[in-house]
Amino acid sequence: MLARAAVWLGVLPAVIGRAAAWLTLVMAALCFGMVLLRYGWELGWVALQEALVAANATMFMLSLAWVLGLDGHVRVDVLYDTFSEKKKSWVNLIGALVFALPFCSLIVFYGWDFFFSAFVNQENKGDPGSLPRLWPVKLVIPVSFAFLMLSIVAVMIKEYLVITDQYDDMKDNHDGEDKQPSDKQPAGAPK
């Protein structure tokens, strides 16, 4: 049951992260458009530059949870590499409980106020030609850290399963089907 919870908690951040990765194509198109406007017609469009920065920030922020689920974040492994799997799981579990979840909770809490203030006041930069509103970009902050919290809980469940020697069962049943022993023998197997 915990194994399924870990898998389901990791699904939404993974889907959102993969979708956000497609923003790299949007960023490439925006960058191409900026170069074309600047050198082709000698125009500079502030909103296009700000949209590129917003797409870049959105892609990275929404990919945080997905990368955590893949265990792809950079870490300094001076001592960690020498630890056993259970000891690594303890370090990850304690680190998630003591550091990661409280930090993400603070970012979601204050990020929501940051977004809500911008939304209510219809905040903009006020520069001529800039993006009309800042709240969509500011909304990405609490949303991305909420997804990161989901991913952290999924990782914590996985680490708990490793500590309690239940993780191998999760990996065996991860295909979505419970694997049952088969009466059929592979071709060429001795009878």
pTM greater than 0.85 (yes/no): no
3-state secondary structure of 83: coil
In a domain, 147, yes or no: yes
Contact 152, 100 (CB under 8 A): yes
Return all residues near 85 (Cβ < 8 A) that are at least 6 apart. Answer: 162
In a domain, 62, yes or no: yes
In a domain, 188, yes or no: no
CA–CA gap between residue 172 and residue 137 (Å, rounded): 41
| Residue in 106, 149, 184 with CA at minimum distance from that of residue 9 | 149
In a domain, 67, yes or no: yes
Contact 23, 58 (CB under 8 A): yes
In a domain, 134, yes or no: yes
CA–CA gap between residue 90 and residue 175 (Å, rounded): 26
Residue-number span of the structural domain to which 82 is assigned: 2-172
In a domain, 115, yes or no: yes
Count of structural domains, the chain:
1
> Sign of the CA dihedral 102, 106, 109, 115?
negative
In a domain, 184, yes or no: no
Q: Digits of tens for pLDDT over the chain (191 positions)?
A: 777 777 777 788 888 888 888 888 888 888 888 888 777 665 557 777 888 888 889 888 988 888 888 888 777 778 888 888 999 999 999 999 999 999 999 999 999 999 999 899 888 776 766 777 888 889 999 999 999 999 999 999 989 998 988 876 555 554 444 444 444 444 444 44
